[in-house]
Structure 1
Amino acid sequence: MTASQIVDDAYGTYAGDPSKAAFLGGADQVLTAEQVESFVFEAISALDVDGKDVCLIVPDGTRTCPLPMLLKPAHRALQGRVKSMKAVIALGTHQAMDEKHIARFFGFRPGHADEVYPGLEILNHEHHDPTQIVNLGTVPAERVTELSGGRLHDVPMKVELNRHAAEADVDIVIGPIFPHEVVGVSGGNKYFFPGLSVHEVIDVSHWVGALIGTHAMIGTRPVSPVRALINEACQLIPAQRYALCFVVKSNSEVLHAVSFGGCEDSWAACADVTVQTHVVYKEKAYGTVISVMPEKYEDIWTAAKGFYKLEPIVADGGLLVIYAPHITEIAVMHPGLKDIGYHTIDYFVKQWDRFKDHSWGELAHSTHLRGPGSYDAETGVETDRVRVALATGIPREVVESVALEYIDPATLDLAKLAEDPDTFVEPHAGEVLYRLESERPGV
């Protein structure tokens, strides 16, 4: 059963209404910077923010995002009107961005943020610091069961959020939308949960995604069970919530579309575009797929997107290689992955008593990178649909200890490999989803 087949009336208005959002562009359009800046300034200027505390929620550097193009006009529309203005980087559990990285991403000289964004305080989300987190309440276990499509039982979800977003009068998400392995299509409320949250919401939502499976989930447009859980958690946020969503061509500053409105409505408007612009269909599956990861992915926790986005076009028994010589760590913020390794969902489910107390977020990530497969509890044999190899700067012994294959990146000639008709090389992996033509909706 696909994610789209399990959406039902339990999700109510969570689907969002694109017609309620201000919108510019389309799947076949390229917007100019002037068009975007004018749209953003007018949309933000119309908000009732005078004398209020405003929190802007922005992505980290693992997303293609021409942030200054969006943030500068938003800042101009808010400056002089608001009581306070903060920008919180929605790291989730990713590594914090340092001053140099923040400056480059936001578009100012290190140490001179006030020259470009006067009055704007820029902060990393600190999921590990309890003084920076506010408990907003709990989604009851029975509601979790309902929204997860019956996948979880007796599991309430405590909702905790970064205090700057929780204590603001107005929250404005500013971020791109891409196909996503856990939630179907990213963006919108996902910047709150998991972007500004802590482990409980992350663990529950990601584990539901793992139980569904990335192949069924990724790039599906309807509201998925995971997004329904996230949207439910957002109902506990006291602030007014808006989203400035946009669809950006991967590895560029080219925008196809931009929308603004309530979080659900704005997300829906751009989600309709990204499933057209960021999903590529191939006529055949390949024996070998090479995902070349950009340097913005600093560990396998983030670079695993090179697997999620290309696994659908790997033939049964084929090989997917994550090529990233610059990566030297499995997961800087998640050392527990070295304890469990990478396995199929079956491996964990059939040994649940052994793994149930481990971080569900780490379990979910593990299954996402290993992909579809099965586990025979009697024989201890794990069978994968595809093989996964790392061609990185991570030592062989570490790679093999987490149950993945090792390839020395120096032995790979990407140009020569690309000449093989049974090999596909994606030079900028991580954001564009590949599927087989037979999986195209309506086929």
Structure 2
Amino acid sequence: MLYISEGGINRDISHQEFTDLTKKALNMLSERRKVLILPPDYSRIASQAGVAALAAYKFYGSAVTDILPATGTHIPMTPEEINRMYPGLPQNLFRTHNWRKDVKTLGRIPADFIREISSSELDFDWPVQVNSLLSDGGHDLILSIGQVVPHEVVGMANHNKNLFVGTGGVEAINKSHYIGAVHGLEKLMGQIDTPVRRLFNRAQTDFGKNLPVVYVQTVVAADADGLLKLRGVYIGDDDECFKKAAKLSQQVNITRLPGRMKRITVFLQPDKFRSTWIGNKAIYRSRMAIIDGGELNIIAPGVDRFGEDPGIDALIRKYGYRGTEATVRAVKNNKDLRNSLATAAHLIHSSTEGRFRINFAAGGLSSTEITSAGFNSLDLTAAKNLFKPEEKKAGINLDAEGNEFYLIKNAGIGLWTAED
């Protein structure tokens, strides 16, 4: 059922209106005695999830017993991040998801379905995994909050991805990411109906019916001045809220340039992007707008590691961003990478396939570390002086030498393509 449907390309929904919409939806539900709030982590601070989470906490009071950020493979939120993203929520209610330990398998999607959605490229079954707090916590409401935006694995982020990846386990995350990579990032980015989305929908239909989930879906986009605006709020307990949010996101989060750019520079905010695992959204979200032979400059003052997880970090350092062919070969020949298909998917997504150059300026990685991973190293201070990304507006600019480049200042909330 769709409880709330508010949105439009020019809407500017205030915090108060968002609060009121959330309360209106909760009033439509029957009485709930034990509530789990499932919000995004700090890398999705643009989602404005804190507004809905606080509204729900004030609405239900002591019935809210747990808040579990859907971190997936990401590093757990720090107390400082919680205070900034979720002000007013008690720290003692926050739980940490450990994707290697804290999961329960609800069932398995058969291999014939995986063959079907992967065009017979893959032949394995898939475990429907969630944090055991969802399945065994005794909650009569799981309030899943998050932002719908183009995504490199599932096409459009959020909805049941919050369950099966945000609180998923190793096998589920590895295999679902690899399904997306085999299908092809550029074919699924910004699409609503994708192989991985079909997988998650099947999982919810077959094994998630007993999870008392209500989804709060937001659509956020930057205005002409770069200010983030809440364009849509959709709340419901089925996929209609997601589809409506996704259609609006396609309108406001996808920038269609008249032609491919020769030079694109992406600035990654240091408080949000501390690893290439998350920071390589700079590549995923811009690659379809770069001309063959062009260059992508990534300015990442906060990046000091490759993986969010020590094991993944080691694998990225070992295999590097070498392209699809090399990665698929490495998966075939090496058990460690074969057992970490999410890493393999990330390596594929982050590779240029020789089509353009990537120059990477990282605040906490050495030049040797950058080049060993397969990127060109860019001096951070020199890059800041040349492009001045924090001073300029997003869009077409001139660098300090008078050369044109296209600047992206918030890669996490959009997708850039070109009308070839």
Residues 418 and 425, structure 1, Cα contact 8 Å, conserved in 2: no
**What are structure 2's unaligned runs of at least 5 residues?**
389-397
Taking structure 2 as the reference length, the TM-score comes to 0.88
Residue 360 of structure 1 pairs with residue 341 of structure 2: yes
Residues 319 and 373, structure 2, Cα contact 8 Å, conserved in 1: yes
Residues 47 and 218, structure 2, Cα contact 8 Å, conserved in 1: no
Match of 1:189 in 2: 160
Moved over 6 A (4+): none
Deviations 1:101-152 (A, max 9, x none): 11111014xxxx44xx9xx821121213x2x321211111112222334331
* CA distance, structure 2, for counterparts of residue 419 and residue 79 of structure 1: 57
SS at match of 2:203: helix
Q: Which residue identity does 1:410 align to in structure 2? A: T
**What are structure 1's unaligned runs of at least 5 residues?**
1-18, 374-383, 439-443
The alpha-carbon deviation at position 418 of structure 1 amounts to: 7.5
Match of 1:88 in 2: 68
Match of 1:284 in 2: 259
SS at match of 1:423: strand
2:287 pairs with one of 308, 311, 332: 311
Residues 109 and 203, structure 2, Cα contact 8 Å, conserved in 1: yes
Q: 1:79 to 1:327 in 2, by over 3 A?
A: same
Match of 1:239 in 2: 211
Q: 1:274 to 1:418 in 2, by over 3 A?
A: farther
* CA distance, structure 1, for counterparts of residue 31 and residue 399 of structure 2: 55
Taking structure 1 as the reference length, the TM-score comes to 0.84
2:357 pairs with one of 376, 387, 394: 387
Match of 2:242 in 1: 267
Q: 1:304 to 1:164 in 2, by over 3 A?
A: same
Match of 2:20 in 1: 38
Match of 2:371 in 1: 400
Residues 58 and 90, structure 1, Cα contact 8 Å, conserved in 2: yes
Match of 1:293 in 2: 268
Q: Which residue identity does 2:317 align to in structure 1? A: K
Residues 264 and 296, structure 2, Cα contact 8 Å, conserved in 1: yes
Deviations 1:263-295 (A, max 9, x none): 422111111111101011111222221111112
The alpha-carbon deviation at position 239 of structure 1 amounts to: 1.3
Match of 2:328 in 1: 349
Match of 1:229 in 2: 199
Q: 1:421 to 1:38 in 2, by over 3 A?
A: same
Residue 204 of structure 1 pairs with residue 186 of structure 2: no
Residue 124 of structure 1 pairs with residue 96 of structure 2: yes
SS at match of 2:42: coil
Residues 35 and 143, structure 2, Cα contact 8 Å, conserved in 1: yes
Residues 49 and 78, structure 1, Cα contact 8 Å, conserved in 2: no
* CA distance, structure 1, for counterparts of residue 342 and residue 402 of structure 2: 37
The alpha-carbon deviation at position 422 of structure 1 amounts to: 4.4
The alpha-carbon deviation at position 420 of structure 1 amounts to: 5.0
Match of 2:53 in 1: 71
Deviations 1:33-63 (A, max 9, x none): 2221111101012112433x32211000101
* CA distance, structure 2, for counterparts of residue 403 and residue 100 of structure 1: 34
1:414 pairs with one of 387, 391, 395: 387
Q: Which residue identity does 1:173 align to in structure 2? A: S
Match of 1:6 in 2: none
Match of 1:157 in 2: 126
SS at match of 1:158: strand
Residues 49 and 170, structure 1, Cα contact 8 Å, conserved in 2: no
Q: Which residue identity does 2:247 align to in structure 1? A: D
Match of 1:3 in 2: none
The alpha-carbon deviation at position 85 of structure 1 amounts to: 2.9
